[in-house]
Chain A
Amino acid sequence: MRLLNASGCLDALAAPEVARELDGFVTKTVTPLPREGAAPPRIAETAHGMLNAIGLANPGRERFLADHLPRLRELGVPVWVSVGGFCADDYAETCSRLTDIEAVELNLSCPNVDEAADSAAEIVAACRSATPLPLYAKLSAAHPDIAEVARAVAAAGADGLSLVNTLRGTALDKQLRPMLARGSGGYSGPALKPVALHAVRVCAEATGLPIVGMGGVASGRDALEFLACGARDVALGTVLFSDPGAPARVRSELAAACADAGVASPDDAVGIAKTPETGEKITA
């Protein structure tokens, strides 16, 4: 099992010590052109999670490649680049320019920008032609049948899945105004975990692809549950905001959680979750 960060939840150049505690650093999503991002307020805490509407703020492909990526490589942590865009060619062009990195994560599900014109499978297919690098497709659990999307991106050449992105949500202030300037944002944190565990289970069953599981992971036990549902790797998101020491903590808790559950190691936990009644894996 590798422990990563969820894209957009850590700046390895601002906090290299935190990134070095991970087995891989996933960048904030890179788009072809620079994006200043959404107007503030961009974040809001809710009862069981938080909303963000950052709006894919990033320096753009050219500056990322010329300035950020070389500095990220120097950190000594495997780099995963999250790639975004507004059509398949956007994604493919960025993929074709990436070298000497661990993997590409295709952000096919940002809740804070308009969806790309092309389908997830079309984007993956275009990127597959553009790069030999491992391609992980990041999907949203908002889709009514995420397993179907997973099968489609697998058929199009994805090497793995990143599950899940945030869900769209809204929060209001005391005066009943939206707390975020954009009105709505991506919902993350503990409330997302059951949704994400389900997505991991059904997509693992549907595709057999390696999965990076994420969504409300805050403890070693949480990470173990993602593994048990079929994830090979786990990413930390919202928890990094309140606890920059979370990578080391989750790793040490995971060892204890394995012992508590009678599992020899994290890798031995992958996919072992069975329904109590039938002993079979749940599908949809």
Chain B
Amino acid sequence: MPNAARLSVTGSERVGPYTLVRVERRGIEPGAAGQFFMLEAPGRLLPRPFSLCIAPPGELGFLVDPIGPGTEAIAALAPGDEIGVLGPLGNGYRLDVERPLLVGGGIGIAPLPYLLEQLGGSAPVALGFRSAEHAEAASLLPGAEVVVDPVLVTELIEPDSAGRDWDVLACGPEPMLRAVAALCPTAQLAWEAPMACGYGACYGCVVEIDSALKRLCLEGPVLDASRVRPQVEAVA
């Protein structure tokens, strides 16, 4: 049983079009990078899933893209408000890689700051955003290489000067992840799906994994690229 707690919001700050919501940590462990938490959305029936973005001492921070009533309610939380938090849930990134390259697209940069910290802070980071405003969120990852649409973040994935491939750890929109899977068959991809529960109860979050519909909350959200269908080139 994952830990559940009601936690006080300790801070909320704008990061480009996103909001970084911080809650007190109390009995909730930050878990492995890439694991996720279900956050109560005030006034809504169902919680929403978020990967952990930052884990400062005593706090947990989540990057929220206010795209609907639930995420808007979470982004509108103010210090002192209390919300229910369940987690950490699912499977995160494996950190036993030799040459990590972090690749993020849009709100998919969310798990990367905590992942970078877990890796010791020294891995290269490549980020892609759809606009300059969205790219302001790159401030969460100082030193990252950043591209803005129409340049794609996958264009930054090249063998290093010695010609060696990277161990790509990625998170972003599905087309980006499929493109990364095609480029880097050994990549680890943090996938996304609508979820009602986060712990295997609702069967709502299925995605095609190993050629079958499986619950992302239990199998992922971080998946080996070999388990998903890579991007297929369009046939004229």
Residues of A within 8 A of B (CB): 8-11, 14-15, 17-18, 28, 36-37, 39-45, 48-50, 52, 54, 57, 189-190, 238, 240-245
On whether the beta carbons of B202 and A52 are closer than 8 Å, the reply is yes
Is there a chain A Cβ closer than 8 Å to B45's Cβ?
yes
> How far apart are the CA atoms of A245 and B6 in the complex, in Å?
12
> How far apart are the CA atoms of A48 and B43 in the complex, in Å?
10
On whether the beta carbons of A45 and B1 are closer than 8 Å, the reply is no
> How far apart are the CA atoms of A245 and B84 in the complex, in Å?
11
On whether the beta carbons of B4 and A241 are closer than 8 Å, the reply is no
On whether the beta carbons of A244 and B4 are closer than 8 Å, the reply is yes
A-B contact pairs, 8 of them (CB 8 A): A9-B201, A41-B193, A41-B204, A42-B206, A240-B197, A241-B202, A242-B46, A242-B47
Is there a chain A Cβ closer than 8 Å to B212's Cβ?
yes
Residues B184-215 near A (CB distance < 8 A): 193-197, 199-207, 212-213
On whether the beta carbons of A57 and B203 are closer than 8 Å, the reply is yes
Chain A's nearest CB lies how many Å from the CB of B181?
Answer: 18
Instruction: Produce 1/0 per residue, B110-125, CB < 8 A to A.
Output: 0000000000000000
Is there a chain A Cβ closer than 8 Å to B70's Cβ?
yes
On whether the beta carbons of A50 and B46 are closer than 8 Å, the reply is yes
On whether the beta carbons of A245 and B194 are closer than 8 Å, the reply is no
Residue picked from B2, B194, B196, B200, most chain A C-beta under 10 Å: B196
Given A189-B45, A190-B45, A241 contacting B207 (CB threshold 8 A): no
On whether the beta carbons of B206 and A40 are closer than 8 Å, the reply is yes
**Which residue of B has the minimal Cβ distance to A9?**
B201
> How far apart are the CA atoms of A245 and B1 in the complex, in Å?
9
On whether the beta carbons of A244 and B199 are closer than 8 Å, the reply is yes
On whether the beta carbons of B1 and A18 are closer than 8 Å, the reply is yes
> How far apart are the CA atoms of A45 and B70 in the complex, in Å?
9
Is there a chain A Cβ closer than 8 Å to B99's Cβ?
no
Given A17-B1, A49-B45, A241 contacting B196 (CB threshold 8 A): yes
**Which residue of A has the minimal Cβ distance to B201?**
A10
Complex interface: chain A residues within 8 A of B207 (CB): 40
Residues of B within 8 A of A (CB): 1-2, 4, 38, 40, 44-47, 70, 84, 86, 193-197, 199-207, 212-213, 218
Chain B's nearest CB lies how many Å from the CB of A119?
Answer: 28
Contact of A245 among B4, B44, B205, B212 (CB under 8 A): B4
> How far apart are the CA atoms of A190 and B46 in the complex, in Å?
12
Complex interface: chain B residues within 8 A of A37 (CB): 203, 206, 213
Given A42-B206, A49-B45, A14 contacting B199 (CB threshold 8 A): yes
On whether the beta carbons of B203 and A45 are closer than 8 Å, the reply is no
Complex interface: chain B residues within 8 A of A189 (CB): 45
Complex interface: chain A residues within 8 A of B47 (CB): 241-242
Complex interface: chain B residues within 8 A of A243 (CB): 4, 84
Contact of B201 among A36, A45, A241 (CB under 8 A): A241
On whether the beta carbons of B213 and A36 are closer than 8 Å, the reply is yes
On whether the beta carbons of A50 and B203 are closer than 8 Å, the reply is no
On whether the beta carbons of A15 and B201 are closer than 8 Å, the reply is yes
> How far apart are the CA atoms of A281 and B202 in the complex, in Å?
36
Complex interface: chain A residues within 8 A of B199 (CB): 14-15, 18, 244
Complex interface: chain B residues within 8 A of A45 (CB): 44-46, 70, 196
Given A18-B1, A36-B212, A9 contacting B202 (CB threshold 8 A): yes
Chain B's nearest CB lies how many Å from the CB of A82?
Answer: 13
Residue picked from B194, B207, B212, most chain A C-beta under 10 Å: B194
Known: A10-B201, A245-B4. 7 other contacts (CB 8 A): A28-B203, A36-B212, A43-B204, A45-B70, A52-B204, A190-B45, A238-B45
